A = this chain, B = another copy of it.
Amino acid sequence: MKYYKVAVLGATGLVGREMIKILEERNFPIKQLKLLASNRSAGKKISFKGEKLQVESCNESSFQNVDIALFSAGNEAGKYFGKIAAHNGTLVIDNSSAFRMDKAVPLVVPEVNAADILNHNGIIANPNCSTIQLVLVLKPIYDEVGINRLVISTYQSVSGTGKKAIQELLEQSEAILSESGFQPKIYPHQIAFNVLPHIDKFENNGYTREEMKLIYETRKIFHDEDIKITATTVRVPVIIGHSESVYLETGQNILLADLKQLMNIAPGVKLVDDPENNIYPLPIISKFEDEVMVGRIRQDLDLNNGFNLWIVGNNLRKGAALNAVQIAEHVINSFK
């Protein structure tokens, strides 16, 4: 078996730490793990397989002899170091949106479009958290009967923003419970006991970038520009786990029972759908789940080809770190 020199850029962030945990859990064949971050975080120590590894400050020569680099460091650092690393021969799997819509860069969820991995030129993009859990559930439906349109409303947790947003939610909650004051810092408005129909920046068309990501990334992953998609993305006071209320219209009719059966066998997907016993996907459960959960599956009462789904995924794991590691696994398996 071959062993690889692996780097994690953004090692001290929520997703970076999860990447390191997952590399360990899945016993990724590593001969050396290099932890990289900004100057600010350099010197911190993070455990990996019983060893304390010191985080190094990332610079232009950090990727020499690195085989695979997992990036979770935002768009700017992703773009800058991604190009340098790829140029050095490192395979970069980037979790930012810097390269996602670049035609030369595959955008991959392994269970959905693993074949696209082969077309990489040194960089593979990890889709946005809300896209990953969506396409994973849609894939078997798409293959079986096609998908004409999607109307999506999301309920996204604050961990999607990062550590400081979790802290802000907890501190605001505490301030409100103790009736003391606070000043929103990470979000433009109070997030505790509130919901914000605003994730990422607003585009000129009135949609947020987060909403546009769902549209563009889904179409790119399915190689299908004809799926009609519209979305409203909303931040909710949840710590981990993104939920999505998804209305879909299939191309051909399908029986509800058959659609549920598709979910039952879909890779990476867990059918959690027994409402009579109060069993349906919940963000608090997703903390312990690598599979994306789908439930509350029901047919539109007016349209035979219309269905509602409730999809919940762990945005830090399958929505980010796990998917990136799975891409890396596919790459090394294709070397064999």
- Bound CA–CA A173/B299 (angstroms): 35
Task: Check if A326 is an interface residue, CB within 8 A of chain B.
Answer: no
Residue of B173, B247, B283, B297 near A230 (CB, 8 A) is B247
Task: Check if A306 is an interface residue, CB within 8 A of chain B.
Answer: yes
Asked whether, in the complex, the Cβ of B230 is within 8 Å of the Cβ of A306, the reply is: yes
Task: Check if A162 is an interface residue, CB within 8 A of chain B.
Answer: no
User: Which chain B residues lie closer than 8 Å to A84 at the CB level?
Assistant: none
Which bucket holds chain A's interface residue count? 35 or more
Residue of B193, B205, B297 near A238 (CB, 8 A) is B193
Residue of B195, B205, B215, B300 near A243 (CB, 8 A) is B195
Q: Which single residue of chain B is at the shortest CB-CB distance from A256?
A: B206
Digitize A187-229: 1 where CB-to-B-CB distance is under 8 Å, 0 elsewhere: 0111001111110001001110000000100000000000011
- Take A247-B151, A275-B198, A278-B188 as given contacts and tell me if A239 and B298 are in contact as well, using a CB distance cutoff of 8 Å: no
Asked whether, in the complex, the Cβ of B196 is within 8 Å of the Cβ of A308, the reply is: no
- Take A228-B303, A298-B206 as given contacts and tell me if A195 and B153 are in contact as well, using a CB distance cutoff of 8 Å: no
User: Which chain B residues lie closer than 8 Å to A310 at the CB level?
Assistant: 197, 232
User: Which chain B residues lie closer than 8 Å to A276 at the CB level?
Assistant: 202
Chain B nearest CB, measured from A6 CB (Å): 33
Residue of B190, B197, B297, B299 near A280 (CB, 8 A) is B197
- Bound CA–CA A233/B147 (angstroms): 23
Chain B nearest CB, measured from A227 CB (Å): 9
| Best-surrounded residue of A149, A153, A155, A174 (most CB of chain B within 10 A) | A153
Asked whether, in the complex, the Cβ of A215 is within 8 Å of the Cβ of B245, the reply is: no
User: Which chain B residues lie closer than 8 Å to A297 at the CB level?
Assistant: 206
Q: Which single residue of chain B is at the shortest CB-CB distance from A277?
A: B188
Asked whether, in the complex, the Cβ of B245 is within 8 Å of the Cβ of A284, the reply is: no
User: Which chain B residues lie closer than 8 Å to A60 at the CB level?
Assistant: none
Q: Which single residue of chain B is at the shortest CB-CB distance from A295?
A: B197
Digitize A159-185: 1 where CB-to-B-CB distance is under 8 Å, 0 elsewhere: 000000000011001100100000000
Task: Check if A236 is an interface residue, CB within 8 A of chain B.
Answer: yes
Residue of B206, B237, B278 near A296 (CB, 8 A) is B206
Asked whether, in the complex, the Cβ of B155 is within 8 Å of the Cβ of A198, the reply is: no
- Bound CA–CA A275/B202 (angstroms): 7
- Bound CA–CA A301/B303 (angstroms): 22
Task: Check if A51 is an interface residue, CB within 8 A of chain B.
Answer: no
User: Which chain B residues lie closer than 8 Å to A149 at the CB level?
Assistant: 302
Q: Which single residue of chain B is at the shortest CB-CB distance from A237?
A: B237
25 contacts between A and B (CB under 8 A): A155-B236, A169-B193, A173-B173, A189-B282, A193-B238, A194-B282, A194-B283, A195-B238, A197-B243, A197-B280, A197-B296, A198-B275, A198-B280, A202-B276, A205-B301, A206-B296, A206-B297, A206-B298, A207-B301, A228-B303, A230-B301, A230-B302, A230-B308, A232-B245, A236-B236
